[in-house]
């Protein structure tokens, strides 16, 4: 009898372990890149529905339906002029830089790309750009443009700033040559910067929209391949640090005062950060991984049958500050998002959660979840903390915009109008 009872117990225990394993597997977030289309180039992107592409030699198009319909961008450009980059502030408001052959022109659209304002010159006289600029607007009035330029026979990085919506541009820092040889500069909509430089050797950060910079504790020897991410607080991540002794990825949790090997990250050549705590790393098709807890754990982001090719692979973030996208060496476009209007989510398959209506005005309902919820702005600021029990939530006090509601094991984006 004891043998039979022990056998039954072991069978029951084995069944419990298998069931627990199945539940754990089913609750793990699954992420997949969405293949969009093959274009000549992708000039800028807001989310999976709104982006600007080059579809033929200097034929620039914009879409509001994920590429199903391509409309002519209201900015006719012919050689030697070329559209360098587009920065989205919203689905309808975008900024554009046009390379003229000897300078940059700034243009602005408030109707989604159908028409643009007259040109404004960005750079100072005598500066010839390299046509590889980075432009970030913190809001609709203040923004920066970063590029390397030829100036008096020297090649130098410069940072220009506008505080009047692009009507005028001036040097952002008092020192024109603050970065003599910047390897990587990441600029965030929230207004913080992180810069890796060879001269001087090391990393610097700014939390005041580029007005001042602070030098950090040095990393192992850095090279031009370094890529960085910064949350604007205490966390800084660095990947692809060639030649370091123990690792090629490092993390600082104290604002750059000390660094430790980033052991949780898969092999990563590139890294991107979005608020409040999302990190995407890209090493190859097999090491694309997403973290939603600030880099402590990662989930593989799978590619469909069509995979990236070529050596010019970089991950980027959309203007909504949550959509990730990848362009490969043939300008194939992949986007990491789950559904139009909702954005990137981390949901458990064992307990699916529904949020409606989206967009919402005064009330929002979360079905399939009971417990604490927090509502954050795009910049990661806590706007509301509440308990959820399948009843409508009052959001009438929120200003119109894009928000994230964070639950116990999921994060969902919604639009308040």
Q: CA 410 to CA 387: how far, in whole Å?
A: 15
pLDDT of residue 406 exceeding 90: no
pLDDT tens-place string over residues 44-73: 999 888 999 998 788 999 999 888 899 999
CB 319 within 8 A of CB 47: yes
Q: What is the pTM of this model?
A: 0.73
Residue 15 per-residue DSSP state: H
Which pLDDT score is estimated for 338?
42
SS3 180: coil
Sheet holding 370-377, edge to edge: 382-389, 370-377, 401-406, 411-416
CB 331 within 8 A of CB 39: yes
Q: Does residue 373 fall inside a structural domain?
A: yes
Q: Does residue 289 fall inside a structural domain?
A: no
Find residue 385's DSSP bridge partners: 374
Q: Does residue 408 fall inside a structural domain?
A: yes
Rg of the Cα atoms in the chain:
23
pLDDT-wise least confident of 172-186, 284-298, 374-388? 172-186
Q: Does residue 410 fall inside a structural domain?
A: yes
Q: What average pLDDT does range 292-310 have in this prediction?
A: 81
**pLDDT band at residue 127 under the 50/70/90 scheme:** confident
Average model confidence (pLDDT) across the chain? 80
Q: Which residues contact residue 261 at a Cβ distance below 8 angstroms, ignoring those fewer than 6 apart?
A: 246, 247, 249, 250, 251
Q: Does residue 15 fall inside a structural domain?
A: no
Q: Does residue 4 fall inside a structural domain?
A: no
Q: What average pLDDT does range 110-117 have in this prediction?
A: 95
Residue count of the chain: 417
Range of the domain at 399: 354-416
pLDDT of residue 99 exceeding 90: yes
Q: CA 212 to CA 194: how far, in whole Å?
A: 12
Q: Does residue 139 fall inside a structural domain?
A: no
Q: How many domains does the chain have?
A: 1
pLDDT of residue 352 exceeding 50: yes
pLDDT tens-place string over residues 248-280: 888 999 998 898 888 888 877 789 998 788 899
CATH code of residue 400: 2.60.40.10
Which pLDDT score is estimated for 308?
75
Q: Does residue 405 fall inside a structural domain?
A: yes
């Amino acid at each position: 009898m004891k043998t039979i009872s022990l056998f039954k117990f072991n069978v029951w225990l084995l069944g419990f372990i298998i069931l627990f394993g199945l539940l754990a597997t089913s609750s793990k977030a699954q992420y997949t890149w969405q293949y969009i289309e093959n274009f000549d180039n992708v000039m800028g992107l807001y989310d999976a529905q709104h982006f600007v592409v080059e579809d033929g030699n200097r034929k620039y198009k914009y879409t509001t339906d994920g590429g199903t319909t391509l409309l002519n961008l209201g900015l006719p450009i012919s050689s030697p002029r070329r559209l360098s980059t587009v920065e989205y502030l919203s689905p309808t408001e975008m900024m554009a830089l046009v390379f003229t052959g000897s300078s940059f022109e700034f243009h602005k659209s408030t109707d989604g790309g159908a028409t643009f304002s007259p040109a404004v010159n960005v750079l100072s006289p005598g500066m010839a750009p390299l046509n590889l600029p980075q432009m970030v607007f913190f809001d609709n009035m203040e923004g920066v443009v970063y590029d390397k330029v030829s100036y008096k026979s020297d090649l130098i990085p410069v940072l220009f700033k506008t505080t009047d919506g692009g009507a005028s541009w001036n040097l952002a820092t008092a020192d024109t040559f603050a970065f003599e040889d910047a390897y990587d500069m990441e600029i965030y909509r929230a207004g913080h910067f992180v810069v890796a430089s060879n001269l001087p050797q090391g990393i610097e950060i700014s939390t005041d929209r580029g007005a001042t910079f602070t030098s950090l504790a040095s990393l192992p020897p850095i090279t031009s391949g370094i890529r960085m991410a910064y949350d604007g607080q205490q966390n800084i991540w660095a990947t692809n640090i060639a030649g370091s002794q123990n690792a090629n990825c490092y993390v600082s949790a104290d604002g750059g005062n000390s660094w430790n090997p980033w052991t949780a990250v898969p092999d990563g050549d590139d890294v991107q950060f979005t608020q409040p705590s999302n990190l995407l790393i890209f090493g190859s098709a097999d090491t694309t991984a997403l973290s939603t807890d600030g880099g402590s754990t990662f989930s593989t982001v799978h590619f469909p049958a069509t995979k990236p090719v070529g050596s010019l692979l970089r991950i980027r973030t959309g203007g909504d500050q949550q959509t990730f996208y990848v362009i490969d060496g043939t300008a194939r476009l992949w986007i990491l998002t789950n559904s139009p209007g909702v954005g990137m989510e981390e949901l458990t398959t064992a307990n699916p959660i529904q949020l409606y209506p989206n967009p919402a005005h005064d009330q929002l309902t979360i079905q399939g979840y009971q417990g604490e919820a927090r509502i954050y702005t795009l910049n990661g600021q806590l706007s509301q903390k509440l308990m959820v029990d399948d009843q409508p939530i009052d959001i009438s006090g929120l200003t119109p915009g894009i928000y994230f509601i964070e639950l116990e094991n999921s994060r969902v984006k919604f639009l308040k109008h």
